[in-house]
Amino acid sequence: MRIIAGNFKGRKVKSVPGQSTRPTADKIKEALFQVIGPFFNGGSFLDLFAGSGALGMESLSRGMDSGIFVDRHPKAVHTIKENIRQFQLDEKTEVYRTDAFRALKACRKRGLQFDLIFLDPPYQKVNYTKLLEHIINYDLLKENGFVYCEHQPSEDIQVPHSWQIIKQEVYSSTIGISIYCKGE
């Protein structure tokens, strides 16, 4: 895996050892960042099922100021920390080994809000609608912020009426993406 644009363009991102994670393909990353903006002028992100941290690293490379990586698997957390050290991003990042719902609750307690939230959990393991409800109820997404969901195409994701569907696309029989924006 490589960073595809920005300050770290072309640099390799270490993968999580084993078969427990499913890296986001470059084609999908390019589509994601074409929709939400190829480059950022600051901002923060929350990567809830971070895996190697590649989506967050791409966001930092493209100009985001800071981010929080969350994964419950020790190998993933170790890999994220290695990637952060490799890119010298310790000052801009936080990494937590915990469950996604606990992480959302902790963010609410800290009064955090994000410009971008990544939801790319293991398929069929997490209820996206429930995750989105927590994000809304805890007021974690800034106005005009984005939520990116990578999911099976058959997944039925219920989004709040106040959010706009920016993009929904099927890339294969197993990969679909949905991008939502919290409108004014």
Q: What is the pLDDT of residues 29-45, one digit of tens each?
A: 888 888 887 889 999 99
pLDDT at 32: 86
- Report whether pLDDT(184) > 70: no
pTM of the complete model = 0.92
Domain assignment present for residue 158? The answer is yes
The angle formed by the CA atoms of residues 11, 8 and 27, to the nearest 5 degrees, is 70
Domain assignment present for residue 72? The answer is yes
pLDDT at 64: 96
As for how many domains the chain has, the answer is: 1
Domain that holds residue 174: 26-182
Buried b (16+ CB within 10 A) or exposed e, 39-76: ebeebbbbbbbbbbbbbbbbbbbbbbebbbbbbbbeeb
Domain assignment present for residue 2? The answer is no
- Token reading at 66: 């800071």
Task: Please tell me the least confidently modeled range out of 47-56, 106-115, 159-168.
Answer: 159-168
CATH number, domain with residue 79: 3.40.50.150
Q: What is the pLDDT of residues 78-113, one digit of tens each?
A: 999 999 999 999 999 999 999 999 999 999 999 999
Please tell me which residue, 101 or 24, carries the higher pLDDT value: 101
- What percent of the chain is modeled with pLDDT above 90? 62
Domain assignment present for residue 80? The answer is yes
Domain assignment present for residue 20? The answer is no
- Report whether pLDDT(24) > 80: no
- Report whether pLDDT(127) > 90: no
Domain assignment present for residue 35? The answer is yes
pLDDT at 19: 57
- What percent of the chain is modeled with pLDDT above 70? 96
Domain assignment present for residue 1? The answer is no
Domain assignment present for residue 50? The answer is yes
